[in-house]
């Protein structure tokens, strides 16, 4: 589903190279974890996947279902089913969460050439998805993320994700200091999304999240490259021994 080949990317503003020859393959049906020390380029990779203009790809390729996405803008990527959830959710004052969701879903349908959802259809879907995530209807009437607790922000994020029915989900949870409740919300949401035709990339600093979301593959990112890949046991190894051994082995 996703094939990243020898990717090099730099910060557009000052030309600093952050991603330095990164290779990564994620198959449909897979949950892949990306781990790595702070400053390795994990968040940068997720921004590049989303198509943010602050970064320039200078070399290499990102193929999604065999097609390059490098020339697509963020909306076009979203329309193709790529969903990015970020560490710092944006607050949208003045727009009820419900309204935001409706606009987001219809924007995506429009980009896919599908008809707008009718209000009853939309209401039914939101009701089902929010019940599953234990989201109170009252929360949906409040402006998105404004004054939401950490757990509510996570729920809102997972709700957006499940309503948009993405094919490739990227969740950047690094350094966000999720408490145990928020961690479980994310894990339940991701686990509910597991399906043979969907891939999930979970970026995390902490092995703890991977106790709840058991990944199929684990990749260690360091200085803009994947320096080691393995199965879920790699995450346990990292928790026990830290990154030093792997970094040392990769440098040798
Ligand atoms: P990680 O998510 O693995 O902690 P990041 O992708 O956030 O790493 O950052 C990788 C490196 O790139 C860091 O040294 C960071 O300071 C730098 N960096 C990323 N984006 C920018 C930017 N827009 N401006 C300046 N430095 C950046
Ligand atoms: Mg960081
Ligand atoms: Mg980060």
One digit per residue, the tens of pLDDT, for the chain of length 252 reads 999 999 999 999 999 999 999 999 999 999 999 999 989 999 999 999 999 999 999 999 999 999 999 999 988 898 899 988 765 667 888 889 999 899 989 988 888 889 999 999 999 999 999 988 888 889 999 998 888 888 888 888 889 888 988 999 999 875 566 778 778 888 888 898 899 999 999 998 778 888 899 999 999 999 999 999 999 999 999 988 889 888 988 887
Task: Retrieve residue 123's tokens.
Answer: 């209401």
Spacing, Cα 51 to ligand 1 middle (Å): 16
Domain count, the chain: 1
Return the best residue to mutate from 39, 221, 226 for the ligand 1 pocket (most ligand atoms within 8 A of CB).
Answer: 39
Q: Given this model, what pLDDT does residue 15 score?
A: 95
Report d(CA 208, CA 178) in Å as an integer. 10
Q: Among all ligands shown, which has an atom nearest to the Cα of 88?
A: 3
- Residue whose CA is at the smallest distance from ligand 1 atom 27: 11
Domain range for 93 is 2-97+167-251
Instruction: Tell me whether residue 24 is in a domain.
Output: yes
Torsion of CA 161, 6, 76, 99, to 10 degrees: 30
Spacing, Cα 172 to ligand 3 middle (Å): 7
Instruction: Tell me whether residue 114 is in a domain.
Output: no
Instruction: Tell me whether residue 27 is in a domain.
Output: yes
Spacing, Cα 76 to ligand 2 middle (Å): 27
Q: Given this model, what pLDDT does residue 176 score?
A: 62
In the chain, beta strands by DSSP E? 2-11, 17-26, 31-35, 55-64, 67-68, 82-85, 92-96, 143-144, 168-172, 199-203, 217-222, 225-230
Torsion of CA 56, 226, 4, 176, to 10 degrees: -70
Instruction: Tell me whether residue 211 is in a domain.
Output: yes
Instruction: Tell me whether residue 235 is in a domain.
Output: yes
CB of residue 36 inside a 6 A radius of ligand 1: yes
Instruction: Tell me whether residue 86 is in a domain.
Output: yes
Instruction: Tell me whether residue 157 is in a domain.
Output: no
46-50 contacts, C-beta under 8 A, 24 or more apart? 46/84, 46/86, 46/170, 46/172, 46/201, 46/203, 48/7, 48/9, 48/19, 49/77, 49/82, 49/84, 49/170, 50/74, 50/77, 50/82, 50/84, 50/170
Q: Given this model, what pLDDT does residue 177 score?
A: 65
| Closest ligand 1 atom number to CA of residue 36 | 3
Q: Given this model, what pLDDT does residue 16 score?
A: 97
Instruction: Tell me whether residue 187 is in a domain.
Output: yes
Q: Among all ligands shown, which has an atom nearest to the Cα of 36?
A: 1
Q: Among all ligands shown, which has an atom nearest to the Cα of 174?
A: 3
- Residue whose CA is at the smallest distance from ligand 1 atom 5: 41
| Closest ligand 1 atom number to CA of residue 46 | 6
Residues with CB under 5 A from ligand 3 (ion): 42-43, 174
CB of residue 11 inside a 6 A radius of ligand 1: yes
Count Cβ atoms below 10 Å from residue 195 Cβ, excluding itself.
12
Q: Which of these, 234, 193, 174, 218, lies nearest to 24 by C-alpha position?
A: 218
Q: Given this model, what pLDDT does residue 135 score?
A: 87
| Closest ligand 1 atom number to CA of residue 203 | 2
CB of residue 131 inside a 6 A radius of ligand 1: no
Q: Given this model, what pLDDT does residue 250 score?
A: 84
Buried-state track 238-248, b at ≥16 Cβ within 10 A, e below 16: beeeebeebbe
Q: Given this model, what pLDDT does residue 149 score?
A: 82
In CATH, what number is assigned to the domain containing residue 20?
A: 3.40.50.300
């Amino acid at each position: 589903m996703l094939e990243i080949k020898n990717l090099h990317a730099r910060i557009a503003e000052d030309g600093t190279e952050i991603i330095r020859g990164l290779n990564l393959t994620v198959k449909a049906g897979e949950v892949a974890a990306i781990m790595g020390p702070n400053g390795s380029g994990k968040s940068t990779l997720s921004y590049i996947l989303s198509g943010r203009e602050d970064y320039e790809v200078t070399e290499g390729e990102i193929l999604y279902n065999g097609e390059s996405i490098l020339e697509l803008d963020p909306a076009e990527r979203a329309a193709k089913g790529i969903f990015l959830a970020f560490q710092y959710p944006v607050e949208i004052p003045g727009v009820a969460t419900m309204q935001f969701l409706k606009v987001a879903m219809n924007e995506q349908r429009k980009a896919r050439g599908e008809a707008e959802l009718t209000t009853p259809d939309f209401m039914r879907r939101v009701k089902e998805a929010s019940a599953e995530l234990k989201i109170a209807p009252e929360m949906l009437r409040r402006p998105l993320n404004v004054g939401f607790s950490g757990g509510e922000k996570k729920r809102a994020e997972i709700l957006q994700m499940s309503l948009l029915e993405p094919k490739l989900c990227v969740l950047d949870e690094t350094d966000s200091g999720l408490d145990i409740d928020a961690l479980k919300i994310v894990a339940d949401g991701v686990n509910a999304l597991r399906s043979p035709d969907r891939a999930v990339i979970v970026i995390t600093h902490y092995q703890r999240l991977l106790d709840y979301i058991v990944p199929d593959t684990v990749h260690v990112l360091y200085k803009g490259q994947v320096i080691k890949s393995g199965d879920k046991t790699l995450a346990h190894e990292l928790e026990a021994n830290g990154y030093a051994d792997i970094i040392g082995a990769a440098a040798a």
